[in-house]
Amino acid sequence: MAALVSDLQCHYTAICWDGFYLTGTRAVSDLGPGPVKTQSRDAQSAGNLFEGSSETIRSATPGDESDADFNDWLAGLIDADGGFYLSKQGYASCERTMHSKEVQTLAFIKHKLGGKLTPRLGSNSVRWRLHNAQGMNELLHRINGRIRTTTKLGQLSRVLASKGLELLHPTPLTVTNGWLSGFFCGDGHFAINSSNYQPSIQIAQKDADILRHPWPKD
Amino acid sequence: MQISCVTLGPRTEGPWSSGRGIAEIWGGGVYPDKRWEGWIYWLSRRADLKLFTAYLNVHNMLNPYKVAKLKSFERFLRYMDMDYHLDPSKQTKMHEFIRHFCSIGS
């Protein structure tokens, strides 16, 4: 707990309104090794086709851990309202639609992973869609083992199976995991009751399991 | 931010088959929402709200609209800490702030 509180106190958030990027910066006194990830994946992958997809290799890959927070955030965002699709021809794709006022978030994802942003007619929203094979491989590499909702796990397993990859099970959710940040970004909101001044944080979901147990039951 | 009073309790990682959910980790409750046959996670205890906002400051939401809401929400929590909501002379300021809060992003 003490470590968490000190970690929370040493972080600041900066917003760059002119560009597409938001960066979390840390105090100079905290420029050490950063938060230590103590959890480990439960399952061992096997039979992965592309280099670095094995969780054993992946955790040791330079640059991977630095993006772990983004990967958790992205998995949470897709869990909230994204989707994986497999065409009849066997082509995999991933989509995420957000309101046009949140287009910067999708632009940031596009900057990291590629894909295409398309305004949706009549709904004041924008869709990010990724369907090229290389981009999908990178996306799967990033979020496999981080998706937690039953529906998205089903979609993801079909896409992974089409590429001959194994679905990794997510680790239990903790306060140090960035998944909830992405999930809240997608489906949560802040509210203040003007009559009794009651502030609240809400997350709406069709499936209650993710709110109580963020992974499928055995 | 004063968050030293916030306690996490025994929130250690459990085994795979008995892990914890969002409500168990962050507090709050899960209630049915009859308007659309769904469920809603609701967090309203002030200590839990502070912990949650501190978490969102560490793990950036990468969404300017949501971050702006977060900053205003934190300011409102500070107003609550200063008992502005109990001060009759601050009622106008509070209502104006809430009106501004609701207008963010619209």
Residue keyed to tokens 């994204």: A82
As for the ipTM of the complex, it is 0.81
Domains and CATH numbers, chain A: 44-187 (3.10.28.10)
For residue B26, the chain A residues in CB contact (below 8 A) are 175, 180
Q: Side chain identity at B41, as an amino acid letter?
A: Y
Q: Does A169 touch chain B (CB under 8 A)?
A: yes
CA A141 to chain centre: 12
pLDDT in tens, B67-99: 999 999 999 999 999 999 999 999 999 999 999
Decide if A180 and B55 are in contact by the 8 Å CB cutoff. Answer: yes
pLDDT in tens, A179-196: 999 999 999 999 999 999
Of all residues in chain B, the one with the smallest CA distance to A2 is B4
CA distance B32 to A99: 25
pTM, rounded to two decimals: 0.74
What share of chain B has pLDDT > 90, as a percent? 60
**What DSSP designation does B11 have?**
-
Average pLDDT, chain A: 76
* CB distance A104 to B64 below 8 Å: yes
Average pLDDT, chain B: 81
For residue B68, the chain A residues in CB contact (below 8 A) are 15
**What DSSP designation does A214 have?**
S
Q: Side chain identity at B9, as an amino acid letter?
A: G
pLDDT in tens, A70-81: 999 999 999 998
Decide if B30 and A24 are in contact by the 8 Å CB cutoff. Answer: no
Distance from CA of A191 to the nearest CA of B (A): 8
pLDDT tier, B23 (very low <50, low <70, confident <90, very high otherwise): confident
Q: What are phi and psi of B88, to 5 degrees?
A: -60, -30
Give the tokens for residue A155: 């979609």
Q: What are phi and psi of A215, to 5 degrees?
A: -160, 155
